[in-house]
């Protein structure tokens, strides 16, 4: 079955397409939830909780601790979050 490779590779592609425009807040959860669909035991609630926790961890790690220039909120979302 090509289900696994399709969703894992698709998650990577979605992340690459969304990270610069929407930022890590959107790209992280979308990629993780889409990649989680590779498993036949996929549950949306569990995948959403996992994505929220991992995105928070990634923001803390890459933006706060390592101070990398990764956009947390991309240019598409900046008008909605003017802080």
Question: Is 32 in contact with 58 (CB distance < 8 Å)?
Answer: no
The reported pLDDT for the residue numbered 72 is 94
Structure tokens at 54: 């991992």
In the numeric block, the tokens 């698709």 are attached to: 10
Residue percentage of the chain with pLDDT more than 90: 93
Q: Which candidate, 4, 7, 29, places its Cα nearest to that of 18?
A: 29
> Is pLDDT above 90 for 81?
no
User: Across the chain, what does the average pLDDT equal?
Assistant: 95
> Is pLDDT above 90 for 82?
no
d(CA 26, CA 19): 8
Q: Tell me the per-residue pLDDT of 25-60, one tens digit each, with 9 for 90 and over.
A: 999 999 999 999 999 999 999 999 999 999 999 999
In the numeric block, the tokens 């990270």 are attached to: 19
Question: Is 34 in contact with 7 (CB distance < 8 Å)?
Answer: yes
The structure's pTM equals: 0.89
């Amino acid at each position: 079955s090509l289900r696994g490779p399709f969703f894992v590779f698709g998650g990577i592609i979605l992340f690459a397409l969304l990270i610069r425009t929407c930022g890590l807040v959107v790209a992280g959860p979308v990629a993780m939830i889409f990649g989680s669909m590779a498993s036949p035991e996929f549950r949306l609630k569990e995948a959403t909780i996992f994505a929220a926790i991992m995105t928070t961890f990634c923001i803390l790690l890459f933006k706060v601790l390592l101070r990398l220039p990764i956009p947390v909120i991309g240019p598409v979302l900046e008008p909605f979050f003017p802080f």
